[in-house]
Structure 1
Amino acid sequence: MNLDPNYITTYTNKILKEIIEYSPRLISAFIILFLGLYAIRIINRLVRKIMLKRNLEVTLSQFLGDILLWAMRILLFVTFISKLGIETSSFVAILGAMGLAVGLALQGSLSNFAGGMLIIIFKPFRDGDLIEAQGLIATVSEIQIFVTKLVTANNQVVFIPNGILSNGIITNYSIKGTRRADLTFSVSYESDIKQAKDIILDILNNNPKVLQEPKPDVFVKNLTDSAIELAVRPWANKEDFGSVFTETLESCKNAFDQAGIIIQPYVKEKSVSK
């Protein structure tokens, strides 16, 4: 088949004309794209520096910085394709439908996300705090957006979803600098109460890890059918709490044995059948 040279020339000229007419729009679109990417990088760095200067939580500042980064990128992309002459209304509608579908599919994750934001903003605990939550006592290793990473005393790593963590009861043992140990000794009725109290107080006063302000306290807590219960309340710095607790138990046991004070074992009440 023979092609008409005039036909080829006509269409070549038409294509060249379209390219020439479209070139300014194409060039301006790519200029906007490159300048926008450069501006986004500068704005993102500036915002992150401002958040760090304001002592904002590191996890929250990183997350907000990432959200801002992707929001600006999406806005720049929509501006870029709009400058190219592509209709953006249908594109925005598709993005909205995708966002709705993803939101419905990730309801549990969104709950954990909201819980993570509440934890980061209100700070019921921080990295390194010893907390009790969901029946677990552990040290906070890392607060992430969806989960909180904990490390137990036996070095097990536990991940708790932030949704249930933020909605439950949290006991933070690290907010205050000191902790009080609550111990109970059950001694027999034949024991001298004053002697037992003096022995305990002497042990507490001679332990350098036991704080003298507030002063340690020893008092009769209860009189049961089988024993006299003595409550022992020493205070310690949070890092010495475990040592004070165990050392007090061991020292009192040894001192009671030397003084002849009998530690009454727990006696379970027997039910009487009729």
Structure 2
Amino acid sequence: MMTPDEMMTLVTENALEYGPKLIAAIAIWIIGSWVIKLLVSGLNKVMDKGKVDPSLKPFLCSISGIVLKVMLGITVLGMLSIEMTSFVALLAAAGLAVGMALSGTLQNFAGGVMILLFKPFKVGDFIDAQGYMGTIKEIQIFNTILKTADNKTIIIPNGGLSTGSMVNFSTESTRRVDWTIGVAYGDDLDKARAVIKQLCDADERIFKDPAVVIVVSALADSSVNFAVRAWVKAPDYWGVFFDMNENVYKTFSKEGLNIPFPQMDVHLHK
């Protein structure tokens, strides 16, 4: 059993040996925490200037702060001569196990981060992706929610959405409307072209520049086909498309022009 003098000597020796390390570790923790706070604040300001999505900023700042504090904690414990090799290996193994178990979820999470950072689309855009067409209603960290034209709600995981092909119809302010308009063989092509041009000129939504293109595109089985191409504002696309189809049908009949349909001639021989 140790005597009081021996115990005092041991305490004094340990204090002299570990005291400076403990003070240094505490100082490093305080200074490191202050630096981390400055770094996270600076990251937040950078994201503000970069116009990063508001729903992504708190998450990125939180993750950055956690990672930096874990690194600081490992550094402080190492200064106290605490063996960290086994702890780091255990932490890495646990992280690998969790990552494998949540691989699909993490893929969707990473996809959500990429979408919110690079913004291939935004709320309100009309897109075609993953076999669905609709308007972006909400962009979440794991999923993107679409609203279809017939008012269905489609939830698409961000993993596939961020890595697959996608068509964004709202990126450009203008779109080209294409029609294929057939007239019967024997009809006056010049008259048909003039009627189509008249209908395009009468629609104020169709741009005059670039000019409307009206050309014979094919000599099909039952019709001579015109390819008609006109430029409009993106929101006017479907209205112009549907109205022109109806106007062509009504006007052609008045002008004596025939819109052909597939038919078969049967000849009987006695």
What SS does the aligned partner of 1:213 have? Answer: coil
Following superposition of structure 1 onto structure 2, how do residues 80-159 of structure 1 map, counting pairs within 5 Å? 88-120=84-116, 122-159=118-155
- The whole-number CA distance in structure 2 between the counterparts of 1:210 and 1:160 is 35
Q: Relative to 1, partners in 2 of residues 1:125 and 1:43: Cα closer, same or farther, differing over 3 Å?
A: same
Q: What's the CA shift for 1:53?
A: 1.0
TM-score by length of 2: 0.76
- The whole-number CA distance in structure 2 between the counterparts of 1:50 and 1:223 is 60
Q: What's the CA shift for 1:126?
A: 3.4
In structure 1, which of residues 251, 254, 262 is the aligned counterpart of residue 250 of structure 2?
254
TM-score by length of 1: 0.75
Structure 1: where are the runs of 5+ without partners?
A: 1-10
Q: What's the CA shift for 1:250?
A: 1.7
Q: What's the CA shift for 1:151?
A: 2.3
- The whole-number CA distance in structure 2 between the counterparts of 1:268 and 1:30 is 93
Please state if 1:219 is matched with 2:242.
no
Q: Relative to 1, partners in 2 of residues 1:122 and 1:40: Cα closer, same or farther, differing over 3 Å?
A: closer
Q: Percent identity?
A: 39
- Worse-superposed segment, 228-237 or 143-152: 143-152
Q: What's the CA shift for 1:100?
A: 0.9
- The whole-number CA distance in structure 2 between the counterparts of 1:193 and 1:249 is 18
Contact 2:112 2:158 in 1 (8 A): yes
Structure 2: where are the runs of 5+ without partners?
A: 1-6
Please state if 1:236 is matched with 2:232.
yes
State the AA in 1 paired with 2:210.
Answer: P
- Worse-superposed segment, 260-269 or 162-171: 260-269
Per-residue Cα deviation, 1:37-92 (whole angstroms, up to 9, x for no partner): 66644532331111221334555545432321221333355466668886544332
In structure 2, which of residues 170, 185, 188 is the aligned counterpart of residue 189 of structure 1?
185
Contact 1:59 1:143 in 2 (8 A): no
- The whole-number CA distance in structure 1 between the counterparts of 2:215 and 2:85 is 77
- The whole-number CA distance in structure 1 between the counterparts of 2:155 and 2:32 is 39
State the AA in 2 paired with 1:126.
Answer: K
Please state if 1:168 is matched with 2:164.
yes
- Worse-superposed segment, 66-75 or 243-252: 66-75
